[in-house]
Amino acid sequence: MRTEKQTFRGYEIHVTNNPALWQAAIYRTSPTLPEIDWVALNVRAASASPALQEAKQVIDKALGKGVSHLSGPDKSGSDN
């Protein structure tokens, strides 16, 4: 299994390639950050980039940030 990691707004995103799809798991790096509701989290995609983008949208929602679905990918790999 191939795994990619990226930090975004204080959360660590782990995107793992399972045979037919990519799955993202989100971990907060500080206890002061809101927890992500794992029951509601269902990030799956055909490649790593869309899985990362979807995970970032979940984080933005948890932080109460209104983010356009038209925003491009984070090229720096980190947006803290």
- Reported as a single tens digit per residue, the pLDDT across 35-60 is 887 655 667 788 888 888 888 988 99
Give the contacts of 59 (CB within 8 A, at least 6 positions apart).
Answer: 8, 9, 11, 13, 26, 36
- pLDDT band with cut points at 50, 70 and 90 for residue 11: very high
The bridge status of strand 11-18 relative to strand 2-8 is antiparallel
For residue 41, which of 11, 80, 77 has the smallest C-alpha distance? 11
- pLDDT band with cut points at 50, 70 and 90 for residue 29: very high
Instruction: Report the first-to-last Cα separation within the chain, whole angstroms.
Output: 27
Q: What are the sequence ranges of the domains in the chain? A: 2-65
What does the radius of gyration of the chain's CA atoms come to, in whole angstroms? 12
pLDDT for 35 equals 86
